[in-house]
Structure 1
């Protein structure tokens, strides 16, 4: 894992792609995995639907009361007294009898509205005396009834294929009686780190060695996206070892993700190894932090290579590898990370010529409004800045910011699932 090439002169020979061009390129080069499986609905959290969910029933299945109150025939109020005899009681889960003229049914939320009733009057505005109820004459006709099928009609598509299933989707599927879901199988992602300078936590550090933090960052990000992970560990800095590791990964994985070694230094062997086994594109994307970024294929298996620098790897994974993975999982629609506009609680007087993705966190301003504070160092070598932050501020090339300006913020919550 070598990092000095993050800013070397060789970048001038690389094709330059904007952030959006790079994302579009990646998404155009992959397809969703074809394999699918059927799983119990209760185990479907964050899985991706391979087939739409359709309803066999109307929801609600019958006209039912939206409130606790009294079901009446609105025409019975025309006599002017509003005095009705309470003829029946209908709790939820039971069915009443047809409502006779001049009577009311005591009804509870969710209970079927009896035949003949066309209005439910909430209990708070009624007056009861024994088995008699007095209904206000200005009660609105048709009020407080949820009509059969007003939520979902039988035959309707309820959840589209390509949806990543959140808790509310599971509840929705259950509400129409769906016990099993057809989903894409989990994406298998092989990860490897390149560098003789790396060692694992728990082992003593030798001269010139550093701990392999990228392994833990990548595994956490991939677990958050619901991937199966094939961990190839630390690959020795030789062309032979790198080529063998990549060949093994291509046989088992749907995608290979590597950190470090995709530049062109003498000890950067990923580039020639990938090119030997397939093809590789290496780009200069004018963002800070975040280069080099590579995409290619090892045989037929897609390959994503990010920087060895821990913060640069984190940023490039979130910006580029995440949309790539989501598309391969079968997720449809716009996969560009979503931003929100929030108030800056800082000045940015010295902008860069590149787009900057700077670490920021949410704080409460003196007026009680949310605002953003930025990490004091721009260094991309400070991994603690990512742990400190709640997200990334996207700052356009040359953009000056004064405290109080609105800026684009990408919350980590929008990147980890």
Structure 2
């Protein structure tokens, strides 16, 4: 059943029906099933994609034992407590192995990455050896097995190297290349449509009239969705009329997996918006014990998931990162990862009243004692976007917190962990 709750003011006390942040996130994720469609992509195009299936290593890495440095390959049993002398019988380079058996009393000049010659299990670095014609004299203490990379030391053939649901990072591409994969199976990209509502909003390039403002929310949403590698459908600013909003919602829900709006439809300020959403889908209007971003709408219109975000710029970004992004990643087939949280020292007093979970914007850095320290980035109002532009983390203050004294420990969520 669709539940409608009138939008609260900032002074409104939190009612018992208000959801906590973790509970709201949990409820959303419980209703998100991953898409099943997948495709093969070239390895160079796989960055940021979600693996459709486990990746099984078809071979070992490295495929053969090799030298970890430039030096001399030999039999470990030939090492003596005192000076060891061996006869040089050949050389082994990376890609050009020594093709004969090395007998007792013999050694081979070997380069880093060179395949270990048959019979050899030890490499002595060149700085600890002296070559005189074809006789190599070893200096210092050595042990059998020194400076050798064993076959399969990195990866054993037949093992799972990456699991389904893993989001590919640069190191993964190198890992897959080392296993010989030219292409890989990934989930298809999710399609997200979004638009803003509000007669006061103007797109870039339009002249502002008295009372107008430029629409910034679509640009932050576009950027955040781009970093998630979604297929994006920017529908612009929609006129605040029943027909325009109905048409936009129907078109978006027919074309996309997810529909996101900012302003207007997010909390049903106008009666026709409530009626439209009730008519077209199943949408809940929630109050969340959250600042900024208390109102949130979530549900489905047709087959598309729907998120109605607040209109204030910072509230849009906070609610996106805390609720929408985890849902989109789960929809895309990624395994859910709890937010990365760190402890830092508050470099200044932080004001807060109990009641709501606050995401204040902060600048995280190391102090002179090499400790993590965080400062606020100025005014924290939900419409002050430059506080986000200057920040590199959220300062997390829970519902019971009534302020923080400078020097106290606080929890921070780095933006780097938000993709």
TM-score bucket (shorter structure): over 0.9
Aligned residues: CA RMSD: 2.1
Which residue in the other structure is 1:414 paired with? 417
Q: How far apart are 1:384 and its partner, in Å? A: 1.3
Which residue in the other structure is 1:64 paired with? 66
Which residue in the other structure is 1:178 paired with? 181
Which residue in the other structure is 1:250 paired with? 253
Distance verdict in 2 for CA 1:391–1:6, change over 3 Å: farther
Give 5+ residue unaligned stretches, structure 1.
none
Q: In the alignment, is residue 279 of structure 1 matched against residue 298 of structure 2?
A: no
Q: How far apart are 1:80 and its partner, in Å? A: 5.4
Q: In the alignment, is residue 332 of structure 1 matched against residue 342 of structure 2?
A: no
Which residue in the other structure is 1:115 paired with? 118
Q: In the alignment, is residue 206 of structure 1 matched against residue 203 of structure 2?
A: no
Cα distance in 1, alignment partners of residues 210 and 140 from structure 2:
89
**Secondary structure of the structure 1 residue equivalent to 2:173:** helix
Which residue in the other structure is 2:398 paired with? 396
Cα distance in 1, alignment partners of residues 351 and 302 from structure 2:
47
**Secondary structure of the structure 2 residue equivalent to 1:341:** strand
Q: How far apart are 1:264 and its partner, in Å? A: 3.2
Give 5+ residue unaligned stretches, structure 2.
1-5
Q: Determine if contact 2:39/2:188 at 8 Å carries over to the other structure.
A: yes
Which residue in the other structure is 2:309 paired with? 306
- Of 231-240 and 131-140, more deviation after overlay is shown by 131-140
Q: TM-score, normalised by structure 1?
A: 0.93
Cα distance in 1, alignment partners of residues 326 and 192 from structure 2:
14
Which residue in the other structure is 2:380 paired with? 378
Q: Choose which of 17, 20, 27 in structure 2 pairs with 1:18.
A: 20
Q: Determine if contact 2:343/2:372 at 8 Å carries over to the other structure.
A: no
Aligned pair count? Answer: 411
- Of 401-410 and 316-325, more deviation after overlay is shown by 401-410
Within a 5 Å distance, the mapping from 1:94-243 to structure 2 comes to 94-96=96-98, 97-136=100-139, 138-243=141-246
Q: TM-score, normalised by structure 2?
A: 0.93
Distance verdict in 2 for CA 1:238–1:140, change over 3 Å: same
Q: How far apart are 1:272 and its partner, in Å? A: 2.6
Q: Determine if contact 1:14/1:282 at 8 Å carries over to the other structure.
A: no
Cα distance in 2, alignment partners of residues 157 and 297 from structure 1:
36
Q: Determine if contact 2:79/2:144 at 8 Å carries over to the other structure.
A: no
Q: How far apart are 1:363 and its partner, in Å? A: 4.4
**Secondary structure of the structure 2 residue equivalent to 1:17:** coil
Distance verdict in 2 for CA 1:214–1:29, change over 3 Å: same
**Secondary structure of the structure 2 residue equivalent to 1:98:** coil
Q: Deviations for 1:353-409, whole angstroms, at most 9, x for unmatched residues?
A: 211100111345354544211033231111111111112100123433222222111
Deviating above 3 A after TM superposition, structure 1's stretches of 4 or more consecutive aligned residues are 8-15, 78-81, 268-271, 349-352, 363-370
Q: Determine if contact 2:216/2:313 at 8 Å carries over to the other structure.
A: yes
Distance verdict in 2 for CA 1:6–1:414, change over 3 Å: farther
**Secondary structure of the structure 1 residue equivalent to 2:253:** helix
Distance verdict in 2 for CA 1:25–1:390, change over 3 Å: same
Q: Determine if contact 1:72/1:105 at 8 Å carries over to the other structure.
A: yes
